[in-house]
Amino acid sequence: MSEIIPIVQKSRKSDKNTYKWDKLLHESEKRDATFLSVDAVRNSLLENFDELVENGVAFEFKNRDFDEHLEGGLEARWFAKIIKACGYRVLAEFVGTDDRFWVHMLSKEVHYFGYTNETDPKNEKSFYMVPKSIGLDNEEDIDTFVQNTINESLIGKPCLSSTFKKEVDQISVQKFRPGQRLELLSYNNSQEIRVARVQEVCGRRMNVLVDQKDYPRELEEPDDDRQAGNPDAQFWIDQGSFFIFPVGFAAVNDYTLIAKKDYVEHTNKIARAISKGEEPAYHENDITFEMLAREPIDAEKWSKLEVGQKFELLDPLSQQFKDLHVASILSFCQTNGYLIIGMDGPQAMEESFPIHVDNVCMFPVGYAEKYGLTLAPPDNFKGDFDWEEYLKKENAVAMPLEMFRPWPEQERMDKFKVSTF
């Protein structure tokens, strides 16, 4: 069974709860198993690593055969090639051997071809050494084998390029940092926005929580409030999540803000400055409108939206995501591109929330029927739901098709197959 080598990276407190792929990776060596390719979800990281996880790509990796004999941080390395890619995890084989191992391609032990000679030409901290399984002991034979391997098996073949390290390092250059504050839509009451702090950052993901020092009320227990700050709490979201807004969003858009007096006054000043076309005075830990900026919406397209237009909604506040719901545009925000939307029914306003029109939750009328999904009718609706009849009864129209996210290209859709891990 191939060894699974743990990823070497900066540890996070959330790592202890991370799912381990070990068993499934070992099983994939014995049977066919399809894993989603990196390029299918290329937005999951801040850099594009599509080409580094392709079969046949060579790289430098730590040769652990000699660890017990090396001191002072000296490290032996050898060349490996990808045999099988499973997302960012790859089954690799040391060149010239049958020695195989699993490694995460973003581990700090993975280096581009030529890294050792380029960064340590005198071999003071690292050097190339053939694996023990090759069976070479004579120093001259080893040197010859190393050079022959480079010339015959690596030069001119697919290898990690010298830009690899720069791209990996770029992952840790985060747009956001722990301690910054933003505004967070309340998970339990979508009519309220609260102040939250960034706790951790991992790629595009952020762990954000409401801190008691920013909240004018007593925070509920973690079981009752997923966003409440406590030592073990985690509320991980994407940087593009509909849950988060820049400091001042609630004030600019006259949305209910639950915050302490000094913060309310601070954001009211921000709102006044924005309304006058002036540059707001932010605190150093504020996440600004510019930092969470979206692509501007074309004015002509935006003018086609109207209050009352209908669409189908995958409720982002639901924990199940089982059904699409009949929903409507209820109003417009002052901030460009933002709407107030809600599911049709007697609780539409009470359960409404703000969201940018470019999102992954809104679908055009008829989407559920076209793709065989369940469409939940409005609460208290009686009879069989039919969009044409409902629109006529409500004297409403469907939201224009051009306002929804375009359908992904077929080439990308083909990467998503049933039973793919």
3 state DSSP class of 186 = coil
Question: How far apart, in whole angstroms, are the C-alpha atoms of residue 161 and residue 51?
Answer: 10
What is the pLDDT at residue 42? 63
* φ/ψ (deg, to 5) at 227: -95, 0
What is the pLDDT at residue 15? 59
What are the structural domains, with CATH classification, of the chain?
3-171 (2.30.30.140), 181-275 (2.30.30.140), 299-413 (2.30.30.140)
Question: How far apart, in whole angstroms, are the C-alpha atoms of residue 251 and residue 274?
Answer: 10
| DSSP secondary structure of 87-114 | TTEEEEEETTS--EEEEETTSTTEE-TT
What is the pLDDT at residue 48? 61
- Report which DSSP code applies to 323: -
Least confident of 178-182, 218-222, 233-237, 307-311: 218-222
Question: How far apart, in whole angstroms, are the C-alpha atoms of residue 248 and residue 286?
Answer: 9
Question: How far apart, in whole angstroms, are the C-alpha atoms of residue 149 and residue 97?
Answer: 12
Question: How far apart, in whole angstroms, are the C-alpha atoms of residue 46 and residue 25?
Answer: 26
What is the pLDDT at residue 421? 81
Mean pLDDT of 327-355: 96
> Which is higher by pLDDT, 140 or 253?
253
Give residue 277's identity as a one-letter amino acid code.
G
Within 191-305, where are the H helices? 249-252, 261-275, 299-302
Instruction: Label residue 14 by pLDDT band (50, 70, 90).
Output: low
* φ/ψ (deg, to 5) at 9: -160, 175
Q: Which residues contact 421 (CB under 8 A, 6 or more apart)?
A: 24, 33, 34, 35, 36, 86, 87
What is the pLDDT at residue 318? 86
Instruction: Label residue 119 by pLDDT band (50, 70, 90).
Output: very high
| pLDDT tens profile 53-96 | 788 999 999 999 988 888 888 999 999 999 998 888 999 999 99
| Strands 3-4 and 257-258, sheet pairing | unpaired
Widest CA span in the chain: 88
What is the pLDDT at residue 49? 63
Structure tokens at 276: 């006058």
Quick check: 336 and 296 in contact, CB under 8 A? Answer: yes
Instruction: Label residue 23 by pLDDT band (50, 70, 90).
Output: confident
Q: Indicate whether this model's pTM tops 0.95.
A: no
Least confident of 46-50, 198-202, 249-253: 46-50
If residue 196 lies in a helix (H) or strand (E), which one and from where to where? strand 193-202
Instruction: Label residue 353 by pLDDT band (50, 70, 90).
Output: very high
Mean pLDDT of 32-57: 72
Instruction: Label residue 12 by pLDDT band (50, 70, 90).
Output: low
Is 183 a residue whose pLDDT tops 60? yes
